[in-house]
Amino acid sequence: AQKVTQAQTEISVVEKEDVTLDCVYETRDTTYYLFWYKQPPSGELVFLIRRNSFDEQNEISGRYSWNFQKSTSSFNFTITASQVVDSAVYFCALSEGPQGAQKLVFGQGTRLTINP
Amino acid sequence: NAGVMQNPRHLVRRRGQEARLRCSPMKGHSHVYWYRQLPEEGLKFMVYLQKENIIDESGMPKERFSAEFPKEGPSILRIQQVVRGDSAAYFCASSGRTAYQETQYFGPGTRLLVL
């Protein structure tokens, strides 16, 4: 069965610190996709990134970067020079392979608080 | 370019009443998904629909819950005879025509409170 584990329930750091959110997944599929979504206090879900299982290149987008390692089944998310606006709950998610039903399996989320 | 629309944003019902949640997918999207987020929990898949078809309802509770996505109009998630345990945020997501591992974009959610 597919599973996504975000072991860090809550993280609190001071502004400008770097912070890494961990995500570990389990799947039997050879083709799968991984996602990160952000849920700010206003409650909506904001898409951040999508990565397929054949692309292990790390990605950087401004202050955000993602490290995908198939060997450890991890897809970690780092925020550099954190800002108060980064405070949110962050969800990692996994979707099934090509024959799957496209549903997303979410981790429990990590609540990130950036203190001024 | 309008995103996924959901209404109402907040819905209050008394036990035993019916709740109807509506979702209009992003323009050009024909695949709709419903997820439920219980308090302090992650999101759980409920159902995946295409126009006039339910593709996967493996996450739907067996009773009282139903979903549709008619040829015209929004997708509807219907909860009959609501109970307090149905209080949650219900999110709709949509993806493009091919749906094959396309990104799902989420609406703002409907917060259902059952009194």
The predicted-structure confidence for A9-64, as pLDDT tens digits, reads as follows: 999 999 999 999 999 999 988 888 899 999 999 989 999 999 888 888 888 889 99
Q: What is the mean pLDDT of chain A?
A: 91
Contact across the interface for A103 and B43, Cβ inside 8 Å: no
Q: Cα(B107)–Cα(B3) distance, rounded to whole angstroms?
A: 7
Contact B105, B2 (CB under 8 A): no
Q: What chain B residue is nearest to A6 in terms of C-alpha separation?
A: B42
Give the pLDDT of chain B (115 residues) as one tens digit per residue.
579 999 999 999 999 999 999 999 998 888 999 999 998 778 999 999 998 899 889 999 999 999 999 999 999 999 999 999 999 999 999 988 665 567 899 999 999 999 9
Please, which residues have CB within 8 angstroms of residue B6's CB and are 6 or more apart in sequence? B21, B22, B23, B24, B90, B91, B92, B107, B108, B109, B110
Q: Which two tokens stand for residue B23?
A: 């979702």
Q: Which two tokens stand for residue A37?
A: 């979504």
pLDDT at res. B98: 62
3-state secondary structure of B15: coil
Instruction: Check whether A99 has a pLDDT greater than 60.
Output: no
pLDDT at res. B101: 61
Q: How far is B55 from chain A (nearest CA, A)?
A: 8
pLDDT at res. A100: 47
pLDDT at res. B103: 86
pLDDT at res. A97: 55
For A103, which of B45, B89, B105 is closest by C-beta distance? B45
Mutation site for A-interface testing, chosen from B43, B46, B50, B90 by largest number of A Cβ within 10 Å:
B43
